[in-house]
Amino acid sequence: MDIELYHDSKYGNGARVAEEFKRLAETKGSNVNIHHVREAGSKNLPRADLYVFGSPTHFGKATRGIMRFVKKLELPPGTKYAVFGTFSGAAPDKKTGKMPSEEELEKRRRTIPMIDEALRSKEMAKVAEMRFFVKPENLKGPLEDGWQKIVEEFVVAILGK
């Protein structure tokens, strides 16, 4: 399977996920090319069996860079895609000390739904999604322990192997 992966990584966490994704998918016979959206144009993309898009979460949303990129995409209806996002792990509120509810956390995790909405408007077909969490004490990283296993699950969800 030929896969083109486009990400917007601010602190390198998405880039680490992308590299691990490439390594694992290639061990299963796929060919993966990784691109940062700053260096890639959204028109005339290389042909692929699947496109993967990834973004960090910035103030609860996907970055402007990835959103501009996916909104300008010119891919045929039915094109398959997968999406991943990096998010801050759950941490107690600094003022109250209370842990946020799952509902409150979801309001701050709009990255994947935003990308999905843009791609669904182009009639693209979603194959899989995955979330990766950054340790909450530092938004710059590192990723939470076990993130490589989550990448492996993402690859299996896509490739079925």
Closest C-alpha among 22, 23, 147 to residue 86: 147
Span 106-147, pLDDT tens digits = 777 789 999 999 999 999 999 999 999 998 777 678 999 999
pLDDT at 93 over 80: no
Closest C-alpha among 136, 152, 145 to residue 20: 152
pLDDT at 29 over 80: yes
Please report which confidence band the pLDDT of residue 156 belongs to, taking 50, 70 and 90 as the band edges.
very high
The CATH number given to 2-159 is: 3.40.50.360
pLDDT, position 84: 98
What is the torsional sign of CA 149, 113, 66, 107? negative
Whole-prediction pTM: 0.91
Span 7-26, pLDDT tens digits = 998 889 999 999 999 999 99
pLDDT, position 3: 98
Domain residue spans of the chain:
2-159
